């Protein structure tokens, strides 16, 4: 299994430097699920700001997404949390 690679785009870096606002396409969101020891499903999430390669989620102390009784619920919770993180970072970017 290959790990996802972070790809930094020179165009994104130039756009960011020129003062353009960020958009959802400036983020990479990887949402999935895994099964915990109790047989329930836990959402997994990775959010990366592509303009500078910064990992926004998970961070130290990040909450666990779940557990949920089905894989669909766990994945949907991860997707929703990813969308919230992207929207928050667009509204108030952290440097």
In percent, the amount of the chain with pLDDT more than 90 equals 71
Tell me, yes or no, whether 59 lies in a domain. Answer: yes
Tell me, yes or no, whether 75 lies in a domain. Answer: yes
Can you read off the two tokens belonging to residue 81?
């949390």
Q: How many domains does the chain have?
A: 1
The band of 30, judged by pLDDT with boundaries at 50, 70 and 90, is very high
Q: What is the arithmetic mean of pLDDT over 67-74? A: 96
Whole-number pLDDT of residue 3: 53
First to last CA, the chain: 32
Q: Which residues constitute the domain of residue 72?
A: 10-91
Tell me, yes or no, whether 3 lies in a domain. Answer: no
Alpha helices in the chain (DSSP H): 10-17, 71-91
Q: What is the arithmetic mean of pLDDT over 12-24? A: 65
Whole-number pLDDT of residue 19: 62
Tell me, yes or no, whether 4 lies in a domain. Answer: no
Tell me, yes or no, whether 78 lies in a domain. Answer: yes
Tell me, yes or no, whether 2 lies in a domain. Answer: no
Tell me, yes or no, whether 32 lies in a domain. Answer: yes
Tell me, yes or no, whether 82 lies in a domain. Answer: yes
């Amino acid at each position: 299994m290959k790990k996802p690679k972070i790809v930094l785009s020179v165009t994104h870096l130039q756009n960011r430097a020129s003062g353009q606002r960020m958009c959802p396409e400036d983020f990479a969101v990887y949402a999935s699920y895994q099964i915990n020891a109790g047989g329930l499903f836990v959402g997994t999430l990775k959010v990366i700001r592509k303009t500078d390669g910064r990992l926004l989620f998970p961070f130290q102390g990040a909450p666990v997404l779940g557990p949920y009784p089905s894989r669909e619920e766990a994945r949907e919770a991860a997707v929703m949390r990813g969308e919230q993180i992207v929207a928050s970072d667009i509204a108030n970017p952290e440097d």
